[in-house]
Structure formats: C-alpha cells, structure tokens
Structure 1
Amino acid sequence: MHRRQSILSHRPKTSSDVDDDAYTSAAPPPHTMKRTISQTFPTHYQHDVKDTNMLDAVNEATMHADGLSQHSQASSFSRAFGAVAGSFTRQKTRRRMSSVSSATPAQRRRGSIHSLFESLPSSSASQKSTMDQQRMPLQHQDSGIPTFQLQPQSTSSKAFAPFKRLSSMRRRPTAPGPSTDITKALFTPAVSYPSQSVPGAAARQAAAAANQDRQNQLRREQEHTHRFLNGLITTSMRDDDIKDNESGVDMTCASPIVRADSVTEKKMIDPFQRLPAELATTVLSNLDAASLVRAERVSRSWNEHASSPHVWRNVFLRKHEPEVHVSPAPIQMGGLGTGKMAGGNPAPAQDWKQMFRARSTIDGRWKTGTPAAIYLNGHTDSVYCCQFDENKAITGSRDRTIRVWDLKTYKCIRVYGGPNHRPTANTPPPMEERPERVISHASLNGTKVGNEIYTVPADYHDASILCLQYDSEIMVTGSSDYTCIVWDITGDEYVPMYRLRGHEAGVLDVCLDDKYIISCSKDAMIKVWDRKTGNCVRTLKGHRGPVNAVQLRGNFLVSASGDGVAKLWNLETGVSIKDFPSEDRGLAAVEFSDDAKYVLAGGNDHVVYKFDASTGELVHSRVKHDGLVRSLFLDAFNGRIVSGSYDQSIQVSDYETGQTYAVYKNWTTSWILSAKSDYRRVVATSQDGRTLILDFGHNVPGSELLAGSK
C-alpha cells in the first residue's frame, strides 16, 4: 500500500496571472517551476475562523486522530490552538527568511505577543472558503510560541480544514502521493501510515520514533503554555527578545533569563587584607582628604588603614607643606602651619587628621572673611615695620623703640630703646576697637612691669626705626639716622653686634639671607653688605628717586622706587636686567615670588601690579585701593596677596587672578604702614601706634597642633 503523498509536494505554482480558485483545485496542474517561500505561503494572516468554529475544529481533530492515546488527544487540543496562536510569529519568521518578499522592512518586523492576541479571529469574523483556509500560514514544527490547551466543545467540519493543514507540517509522510482527502491526510496518526519502502519492523520503529518525537513536542508546547499562563512570558516582551536562527526556527525563550551574578552575590575580596601595610598606606596616601574620609566608612579593615597617621601625614603634607624654589631659602614669615619639627622636617608622631581639619577650617575663614581681632598696645607713635613667627612678633616705631611681643599671650615682653625714649604712663590713650576684638591688653607703659621690660642696649637708634628683618640668628634694623644695626638674637636678650654705615639718607628697607644684607635708602642707592664682616660689597645705582623697598631671591633682587619703576638686579654682576614701570607715579612696596617668577609692586596710583619677571610684561593690576599702597606681602604657596594702604584698609586678594575677596577697612584709626601674613593671621601696623592681628585660627579646634617647636 502506497503512502499518501504530501500535499506540499504538488502545490500549484503561484503567479500574478493565476486565479485564486487555483488554490482549491482537487487536481493540481503539473509542477512547472520551483516556488519560493513567499510564493507558497501568504504574507498576511487571514482572520477567517470564528471562535466557536475553531473550538469545533479541535473537537473534530480529536475524533479523527486514530491511534493516539488519551494524553495525545489532550495534547492535540493544545497543539491545534497553538497553531493559530503561533501563526502570527510564524508568518513573521517566514517573511524574514524570504529573500524575494516584496514586504518592506517595517512590514517584516516581528510583532509583539500583544499583537498575536489581536490577530486571533473574533466571533464576528465571516467564514471563508476552503481555498482561503488552506492559504493560512503553516506552523513550523519547532515553534516556541506556546499553545493553549482547551476543553473541546463542539465539532465543525467547516472550521476544521485550517487545523488539518497546520498539522500536516508536523507529520509529513515519507512517501509522496497525491490525496484529495485533506482532513484524513492531516490528522491520521503517523503510526497508522503504511509504508512500502520500509519493511515491517523498521517501519514500525520509525513510526514509533516519529510519534514519540511528536508527543515530546506536544509536551514542550504544553509546558510553554503553562509557563505563559503563570506569567513567565509577558505581553510586554520586546521584539529584540526573540532571535531566529538561519532555518527560521523561532528561538523564543519561554523562561526569563536570569544572570548568574543576580542570583548569587559575589563575595568582595578586600585588597587591604592581602596587601602589606606599607603598600596599603601608599595606595591610600594618594587619595584626597574627602575620598579618604569616605574610605574610612567602607569597613573595619578600611577604617584601620585609612585612619592611619602615616596616611594622613602624607595627605596633609602633600597639601600644606611649602615648596622651596630658590637657594638659599627665603626667610619664612610667620609659621609654616605643619606642626612640630624634628631635624628640619615635620615630626612623625602627630595627629595629622586633626591638623588637616584645623587647616581646612582656617582656610575657610580666610575665604569668608571672619577673623578675630587682637590689638597690641604699647608704642607711642607710628609703627612703621614688623615681622613675626609662630612665637613672637617684633615691631619698630617712630617712637625710636623696638618691641618684642609674645604671640601666645599677646603681651609685650621686651622693649629696646635709648634712655631718653622710655615711654610714660597712659601712652597711647585708649582707642576705638572693632567688635571682632577678642584680646586687647592695656599698655604697660609707666607701670612697674613696663619699666622692668624696658632695656637700654649698648647701641641703639636715636631716630625713627623705619624697617627691620630677622632670621634665627640676627636681626637688622634700619633707621632715619642713615644707618643699620645688626643684632644677635640667639639668646634671651638682643645684643647689638655692629652698625652698617654708608647711606646718605634714611634707610627705608632691609632684607637678608645667609650671605648678604641688603639695604635701600632715600639717597636712591642700594647697598649690598657682607653678612659676616659687615663690609659693603657693592652699591647698586640706577634709580632716580628714593628706593622704598627691596626683596631678595637667591642671586636676584627686586627694588621699588619713588621714580615709578621696579627693577630686577643680578647681585653677582650688579647690573639691572629688567624694569617694571608703573602706569602713574611712584612705587612704595615690592614683592618677589618665592619661585622668582613674578614681581608685585604698589604705590601712589593705588593699584597692585603683577609682572612676569622673565619678560617684564604686566600680568594684571586688579587690586585697587583708595589711597597709596604702602605695604605688600605675597603668600604664594597659599595663593594670597595682602596689601595695606593709606585708605586704612587691608585687602586680601587671589594671587592667580588678582580678585579681591576680603577687605578690612577701618580696623585701625589711621594709615596701614605694614601688613604681613602667614597661614592663619595677618599682622599689620598702623600710624595710630597699634599693631593689629587678624587671627583666622582663633579658637579653632586643633589649631595649637599646627604650631612648630620653639
């Protein structure tokens, strides 16, 4: 007995001139050309089956499936309904495979699961002819779209045809042969097909294997259906979630993909539990302070390493330890703010984290302009000059005395002057003070204590003391008496060593390093003195007016004159190598940056100039006062310019941009004659006889840790 030939083997060819009735012909015409997929299967799904007829078709399919077990019959319900449910995805898959399809890319795009349900036939759809039912797209055997298992309700031969056609794709006979009984050919079980090409035993084994494969497929479809109903597949799946292989098989996964790392959390390996302590310290030391604080909160192990004093020491010094650019190093004004020193370097055993916190608080007060005011009372006339370190301040006055102040108690501890310059009681008189004042000790003049601290040295100035500078060994003072006195300050008492003579007018400014002492005068000359012998080494001439200020950096010197020009000098040759002219009138103050790259100058035109030392070009002149700029100080490492003026103000400006961010006006009752600063304070002197300290570190927790050793 011959096996019926599959209906797909003799399907009529399709062309534009073939009538639709050709699809219903019982005797198909000869096969004249190979047909493509797009010609065999329609590109649009036909809504031609009513819901009730569809269920009838399931019933009828069950009744004609001879040889199927009860489980197979139930599976047929699910597969039959799945044929329709999967047709939407199947027709899209085949359109993708077709290289000759006329559909546009937008039409070939796969629809969503939600579109599948919209494509199911409604109860109001009209019933089409048998030919139209046969044009429905065939379900692929490996389709992953789930099928629904429904209970049979009724049978209908009219609605049965499309399901027969769909079933034929799952069970193709091995031997071709024409057949007009479409229903019987599609739904006859594979085990009932006789075969002449295979002997009895082999045929039965092949049929049994095919039937077993078919039942396995039905079980998979049922499992997919249950998963769908349990919500494992949702209608919100994107088209990109469905991937097809080259054969057109739908590879839709019925279960959601779960990443391994979302199921099992990987255990983090703490690197600091394996690294040596020295290496962990090196790694953490490269963090900034904010990141280091966050690192302390990661875990107990991280906290132990990140809070280590060794780590915070590196972080603190990287930010706050000044660099030395020239040799010999310039004299340090005030304190470094880096804590106790040991052998010229910061001592190791310190609370570096607390020190960092204190420095940050002090820097914040500079920016917000909120210092405390401290007044030093004692001089009886204008205070022209000052210098200070962490422990003391030294001032020189028109009253012809030199005073030493303790910066821990803010009291005068020593007065040096001639026997005729001893101050009397009640000088100076009480003066107005700012509300920010926290300390203002009464003058000791004329009291027992005042008389005890007054000292008449072996040599002294008998005129106004206009300038001074000191280091750890000596102090040099310049006076209106045309001379300078060099003092030994290594002991408790300051002892005059020798006097420098040579100027023809009052000495307006002095500076020094470990080799030279430099002085300038109203006589328009600059003299270079040997520090050890006191001999004049060289006289620098070039200014045409009084030289009001000088500053030394290595072998280079800058000077400012009343002739309106600042000059750069080479001390080895004594030659002026660069001029920095002001825009108008004379210059009274000058500063040389620690790296010798910039020159600052100020004077009668009320502005502060910043010049490039190598080119002589003006960088900016943004700092402006309402009067003569009498004093300048540059703290390049902390990025601050401090200027004092006859307008009775002290201005703090940004070194890079020149923008002023703090102005302290009328904190004294007269002109500002000198103003210098360090990391935490400004020390300024005034014509009213007082010394004003703007202390940004007053009562800051940990500020005492920043002070160096005595």
Structure 2
Amino acid sequence: MATTALSYYSDTSMQWDEDDRGEGPSTATPTPSPRFSKLLGSVLGSPFLTTSDLPMYDEAASTERDDEPEMETIDGAFSAVPRALTVTRPASPSPSFRTETYSIVNWTENNDVFGEGRPSLSDAAPTCTVRLRPGSTRGLYSGSTYLPYSAPTPYNTIRFPSPSPIKSSRSQGLLPKIWDALRESSPTKRGRRRFDNISSSLWSELDIDGIVDYASLPPLDGEEGELIDDEACFIDVRAVTGVDIVGLLPEEVALHVLSYLDLHAMIACLGVSKTWRRLAHDNALWHGLFRKRKADGWAVDLRKHKVQTPASLLAMSHSGQWSRGVPAQLEPDWRSLYMTRSELDRRWAGTSIVGTSEDKENAAVFEPRTRKISGHVDSVYCLEFDSSKIITGSRDKTIKVWSLKTGKCLATFHGHNGSVLCLKFDKDWDLDPANALSEEECAGSPNHRLWRKGFMVSGSSDSSVCVWDIYSCPVESEDGTVDIAVTAVARGILRGHSLGVLDIRIDDKWIISCSKDALIRVWNRETLELHCTFSGHEGPVNAVGLQGSRVASASGDGKMMLWDIATGERLRTFEGHDRGLACIEFKDDIIVSGSNDHKIKVWSATTGECVRTLTGHDNLVRTLSFDPRSGRLVSGSYDRSVKVWDLKTGRMLREFKACHNSHIFDVNFDATRIVSTSHDQKICILDFAEGLDGVSLFA
C-alpha cells in the first residue's frame, strides 16, 4: 500500500528552516507555510502533499532518539515522515502486472495500435493498452531492470487479457489464500483468456522475455498441437495423413504382403484407395484365399475350363488348331469363383436370402430348381454322374446315358439279362487329353483327337459284373448346341457270384463287388482276374466301401466289417444298428452307414467307435453319399425324402420331400446339385447353382 504525508489542514502548520535542514528541526517559532495552503486531490485516494512540501528527514538523528515517532517512507520520494502523519489510501483497481511506471491504464477492446489486421483475443474479451509515460526516467520495468522509454509504437503498445474476476481472500488466513492460488491456476478452470500471438520481433525489440500471467492462462484443450491427458498415446486415424507404404512398395512385394490377409481384411482393402483396390483385385490373391478354404471342401477341376469343354474341342477341330497344338488354359477369375462358392455354401445351408431376422415374414430360404428326367420303363436302381452326363441302371435291364445340361438321353446300353442294380465309372474321362484315342484306334478317322475313352463297371441281378469301355465325342446338334455322343463296348464279364450283385466300387487298381451270396470279391482292374474273396457275413452284403487297401462291408445281418485286401484278413467288426444295414459310404477314415432301423451312424474306421447317430428318417435309409472335405452328407430313404446333413454337428440342414412319389433307391451329389433315382422310374435333379456363373469348375 502506498502512503502519503497528512497535512494538518490549517494555517498553523510548522515551518522548517532551510538553513537547519539536515540538522534536525528548527527551534524557531512555527509560521504558516504558503506551500501547505494548496492541497492536491487524486481519484486514487485521499488528499496528499507533493513531495517538495515534505521536510527532509535526518535518519542518523532519528536513531539517536528513541522517543522520536516511527517514520514512514513516502511513496516515490526520498523522504520520510512520522507514521502518525500518514494515511493508507484504498487499493487501486489495477491489472495483474506491474503498473507503477505507467500513466494511463485503458481497458478497451478497440484501442489497439496494431490495427484491424491484428486478431483479437476473442469477440468479447477486453484488452489492456499500456503506453509508457513520456518523460519517465524509469521506462518499462522488466524483472529488476528498467528499460528506457521510447515513443509509443506497435512494439511498446501491448495488449493483455483482463484478470479473472476471482474473489480475493486477502483478509482470510493462509489456507484460503492457498485455495485461491490453486483455484486460479487450475487447468480445469473455464473462461480463461490466452495472450494473442505476439510476434517474436516485438519481444526482440523490447529485449525482454515477455510478461506472461501464467495464472490466467487457459487450460490445454487439445487444439493447436497441444497434447492433453493420454492424447499423446493415441492416434485419431481420421486425422492421420501419412505415407502409403504399401503403395510405394514394388507391386510384387505389396502383393506378397497382402497375401497374408484373410477375406474380411481383403474386402476392407478394396475401400482404402485406388491403389489398394487395384492390388486387392489381383487374381493371385483371390486364388490364395480360395486355396485356404480347401479344408471346407473348396476345390476346382481345371480340366473343366473352357478350353477343354466339348464345345471348345469341337471349335478347335473346325478351325484346324490341332496342327498348332492345344491352346494354353487361361487363368480362371478366382475372385468370381470365391464369391460363387460362398453363395453356394449359403444355399446348401438353407440361410435366408430375402429379408432379415427382424423381417421374418419376408424371409425366405433358397429353393433349388427341380428337374425330372423320364425314360426308363421300370424302377431306376442306381446312378452316377459327372459334370456333363448322368448314367443310370434300371430294372428294365438297360443302362442309359443322359445329358446333364439338357436332360436328353444320349445312349442306351444292353448287356445284362437281369436288373442293373449298381454301376460305377471314371468321372469326366472325356476332359482328360490323356484319354484321347490314337489314329489307329479310330481307324484313321479325322476326328480321332475328339474321342475320349473311359471305364465303367455294372452289376446285375443276373450275378454278373460287366466291364465296359465307354467312349464320348463332342457333337453339334441340329439346333446349334454342342453335346456329346456316347457309345460303349463290353470288354469282359466277371463271373464269381452265385446271386445278384448288389453293389460295386472301383479305383485305379481294384474292382470290389458284393452279392446276396454274402461274399465280397476283389478283382484286378487291369487283368480282370479275381484277387481274393472275403466271407464272414451271415446275410446278403448290401453295400461295400473302398478306401486304399481297406474294404468296408454292410450286411443285412446288422453287422459291418472292415477288411484288408493285402492280407485278406478281417480287421474289425462294427455293431450298433438294431436292424439290417442297407447302405454304406467309406471315405478317408470315416464310415457312414444307413439301416432299416431308420438311423444313420458315423464311425471311425481306425478305432471302430460310433462317433455320431443321426435320426430323422421315418423308414429304411436306402442310400447315402457324403463329402468328407465339406462334411456334407445326403441321404435317401423309403420315406420318399432326401435330407442334407452336417456331419460335423449332426444337424439336418435341408429336407426335400417333393422329389419322388415312391421309394428312393439311390442318391448322389456334387458341389452344385443332388441327383436321385426312385421306384417311380424318375431321375430327379436339384440344382443349387441356378443363376451362378463358373460353377462347372467346382469339383
């Protein structure tokens, strides 16, 4: 607080002798001083005397006299007066910085010499324009030094924020003052102002570090590069503008990096940038993704590519391309194949394709297109099919070949004297160039390159096994479409069973047949000689399965047995069904059996353990077909239904009851369709690939 000398406010004020100044007060009689007759007034406090009116104070003399009154230094002067003659004036409303050298303090928003181009603190923030007092010898105070005064310029006219209107605690104790200090400097205090960005040239002109009221600084708000809380540890990806490292890599390296991604990540890459989208469409990447689904049964047969279709072969023959060799196969569109196969799996699983779970009324499950083929005049007992044809055996003693594309009957073979109960052939033999006939075999025919030779075996109720050489060639029909012409020649007849042959299996080395005579016979495929015979069942052997050198057999006696071709020994007997077994499938280490007890059982060939039992049919399970890669099982029953199962979970996925009007005798399927035969003399095709492209490549 500043203090001033208090006048006696009378004409009897004491007069000090100038000659005795510095030696103590004069003993002369006090006389009125005209200099004390004029009092100055100030808006800052009470009336005060000018410093020139104050008497000189002898400090040495005052120390010798203990009874002298305590003296007080006058503000701004080198003089002192008794404390009793001073008065404390009220505090001046000043900003938070030092103002003892300034003559004018003007709090205004517009008084700014920087002009309109200089940004303001805010739209409503008052500013303090400080000008140095002309004639001041002290100038601007900075720390412990005073800077010389200079004329007002844009560099000595500084704008400061207004002080925060926080209630003072000067009259309170220590703890309230500490609380005020913490409150003023709290980083969460709102409403703080920030100094304008004063140019560095300003501070260099003044040669000072800058006067900053740190207590009035606003809290960090995360703007202008400030890091608050844990912001330094996190990145807002929406604000990141970095370098596309993958885009800068050589294309081969970038594709190798992307090859480690899964399907969801690859789809996400399509939306990153044009460069990433181009890379993510690379055919090799989708080929890799497709191959990763091999465990789910995803596979393609490149022999079925366009170059090797019957139409393409015929076109090459007409154009004379045979002289230049067969054209190289083009790479399939693996991304399109991946999407198609995914859609196929969804259709097989019966997933809703219209509507959502919230819109159950409009939800629908894909229904395969149903086609029925007629031509046999009696029950159709057996069937096999590949990518272009269906071959069936019937009670009418014939074997017929059908076009899978048009349903047209391509050929009819006669060779048995009884019902054709079973048959097997090498699938898609007409797509393998190695099966092409030589010029000598075709007797010099110019189209000998188009003919393909296959292998087929059939079993009949006449107790015989007939071995066929079957041939096919692409031909152009009258309507311009290309199909195949098929013919067959019986190579030999295997006789060894005494009763009807009920089932047959083949591989590259063996022919396996079973009969009502309760025997299983193994024949050499190349020489057609009998290799060995298995006996042990007490009833007719209705079905057999072949896997490598092991044979599984199912009998009407309710037992299933596993045999070893190399040693001729029985390895294991499976018992679990309540009634006789009608069908069996043996692939990898899995054996699936169907019985007259209406059940389907899944077995482990190695341990003999029954892994799972499937129930759902209402009558004898007559036929089975399954794919161990996809885990999909299809069954046909005398209850006139065809069911699709998931072997991994035992859950029934689909059921079709409108395929046939009578007992179902045989069923088979591939990646796109189910084909079944029945006592109603019909062949039924359920097509799951309706409207999809490229499905012919799926194996």
Matching residue's letter, 2:342: S
2:660 is aligned to: 668
2:305 is aligned to: 340
Summarize the Cα distance change of 1:644–1:411 in structure 2 as closer, same or farther, 3 Å threshold: same
2: CA distance, partners of 1:585 / 1:262: 68
Please state if 1:468 is matched with 2:423.
yes
2:185 is aligned to: 145
What CA deviation, in whole Å up to 9, does each residue of 1:235-290 have, x standing for no partner?
xx9xxx9xxxxxxxxxxx99964778789955332233333333333333333334
Partners of 1:336 and 1:678 within 8 A in 2: no
Partners of 2:166 and 2:184 within 8 A in 1: no
Please state if 1:362 is matched with 2:344.
yes
Partners of 1:233 and 1:255 within 8 A in 2: no
Q: What does 1:437-448 correspond to in 2, within 5 Å?
A: none
What CA deviation, in whole Å up to 9, does each residue of 1:588-613 have, x standing for no partner?
111112xx222110110001001122
Q: 1:352 aligns with which of 320, 334, 343?
A: 334
Q: 1:497 aligns with which of 491, 497, 502?
A: 491
Please state whether the residue corresponding to 1:220 is helix, strand or coil.
coil
Q: What does 1:65-464 correspond to in 2, within 5 Å?
A: 68-70=100-102, 137=177, 145=185, 219-221=211-213, 224-225=215-216, 227=217, 232-233=218-219, 257=227, 266-320=240-294, 340=305, 349-368=331-350, 370-417=367-414, 460-464=415-419
1: CA distance, partners of 2:537 / 2:696: 46
Please state if 1:574 is matched with 2:574.
no
1: CA distance, partners of 2:606 / 2:658: 38
Summarize the Cα distance change of 1:274–1:519 in structure 2 as closer, same or farther, 3 Å threshold: same
Partners of 1:355 and 1:705 within 8 A in 2: no
1:515 is aligned to: 509
2: CA distance, partners of 1:587 / 1:359: 35
Q: Which runs of 5+ in 1 are unaligned?
A: 1-54, 76-115, 122-126, 149-211, 242-252, 325-331, 418-459
1: CA distance, partners of 2:104 / 2:181: 16
Q: Which has the higher strand share?
A: 2
1:698 positional shift: 1.9
Summarize the Cα distance change of 1:553–1:138 in structure 2 as closer, same or farther, 3 Å threshold: closer
2: CA distance, partners of 1:537 / 1:400: 28
Summarize the Cα distance change of 1:705–1:58 in structure 2 as closer, same or farther, 3 Å threshold: farther
Please state if 1:583 is matched with 2:538.
no
Q: 1:609 aligns with which of 601, 606, 613?
A: 601
Please state if 1:480 is matched with 2:461.
yes
Matching residue's letter, 1:275: L
Q: What does 1:554-569 correspond to in 2, within 5 Å?
A: 554-569=548-563
Partners of 1:382 and 1:688 within 8 A in 2: yes
Larger radius of gyration: 2
Please state whether the residue corresponding to 1:381 is helix, strand or coil.
coil
2: CA distance, partners of 1:58 / 1:255: 41
1:216 positional shift: 7.5
Summarize the Cα distance change of 1:553–1:276 in structure 2 as closer, same or farther, 3 Å threshold: farther
Greater RCO (CA < 8 Å, at least 6 residues apart): 1
What is the RMSD computed on CA atoms of the aligned residues? Answer: 4.1
1: CA distance, partners of 2:633 / 2:622: 14
Please state whether the residue corresponding to 1:505 is helix, strand or coil.
coil
Please state whether the residue corresponding to 1:632 is helix, strand or coil.
strand
Partners of 2:577 and 2:595 within 8 A in 1: no
1:650 is aligned to: 642
1:308 positional shift: 1.4
1:302 positional shift: 0.8
Please state whether the residue corresponding to 1:395 is helix, strand or coil.
strand
Partners of 2:631 and 2:648 within 8 A in 1: yes
1:73 positional shift: 9.4
1:145 positional shift: 2.7
Partners of 2:559 and 2:575 within 8 A in 1: yes
Matching residue's letter, 2:421: L
2:450 is aligned to: none
1:327 is aligned to: none
2: CA distance, partners of 1:284 / 1:138: 61
1:660 positional shift: 0.5
1:372 positional shift: 0.7
What CA deviation, in whole Å up to 9, does each residue of 1:141-180 have, x standing for no partner?
99983999xxxxxxxxxxxxxxxxxxxxxxxxxxxxxxxx
1:420 is aligned to: none
Matching residue's letter, 1:371: P
Please state whether the residue corresponding to 2:293 is helix, strand or coil.
helix
Matching residue's letter, 2:417: D
Partners of 1:144 and 1:254 within 8 A in 2: no
2: CA distance, partners of 1:321 / 1:146: 63
1:352 positional shift: 1.6
Please state whether the residue corresponding to 1:363 is helix, strand or coil.
helix
What CA deviation, in whole Å up to 9, does each residue of 1:635-686 have, x standing for no partner?
1222211000000000000011111011111321101100111001011000
Summarize the Cα distance change of 1:60–1:501 in structure 2 as closer, same or farther, 3 Å threshold: closer
1:58 is aligned to: 91
1:545 is aligned to: 539
Partners of 2:340 and 2:695 within 8 A in 1: no
Partners of 1:586 and 1:605 within 8 A in 2: yes
Matching residue's letter, 1:505: L
Taking every aligned residue pair, what percent have the same amino acid on both sides?
A: 36
Q: What does 1:520-531 correspond to in 2, within 5 Å?
A: 520-531=514-525
Matching residue's letter, 1:489: I
2:690 is aligned to: 698
What CA deviation, in whole Å up to 9, does each residue of 1:181-237 have, x standing for no partner?
xxxxxxxxxxxxxxxxxxxxxxxxxxxxxxx99x979x322x653x4xxxx339xx9
Summarize the Cα distance change of 1:262–1:412 in structure 2 as closer, same or farther, 3 Å threshold: closer
Q: Which has the higher helix share?
A: 1
Matching residue's letter, 1:70: Y
Matching residue's letter, 1:526: I
Please state whether the residue corresponding to 2:276 is helix, strand or coil.
helix
Partners of 1:233 and 1:256 within 8 A in 2: no
2: CA distance, partners of 1:134 / 1:320: 79
Please state whether the residue corresponding to 1:527 is helix, strand or coil.
strand
1:694 positional shift: 0.6
1: CA distance, partners of 2:90 / 2:303: 93
What CA deviation, in whole Å up to 9, does each residue of 1:289-328 have, x standing for no partner?
343222122111111111112222222233258879xxxx
Q: Which runs of 5+ in 2 are unaligned?
A: 1-87, 108-163, 190-205, 309-327, 351-365, 430-453, 473-485
Summarize the Cα distance change of 1:141–1:522 in structure 2 as closer, same or farther, 3 Å threshold: closer
Partners of 1:337 and 1:679 within 8 A in 2: no
**TM-score, structure 2 length as denominator?**
0.59
Summarize the Cα distance change of 1:648–1:73 in structure 2 as closer, same or farther, 3 Å threshold: same
Matching residue's letter, 1:340: H
Please state whether the residue corresponding to 1:59 is helix, strand or coil.
coil
1: CA distance, partners of 2:275 / 2:664: 55
Of 138-147 and 688-697, more deviation after overlay is shown by: 138-147
Matching residue's letter, 2:100: L
Partners of 1:567 and 1:579 within 8 A in 2: yes
**TM-score, structure 1 length as denominator?**
0.58
1:641 is aligned to: 633
1:415 positional shift: 0.9
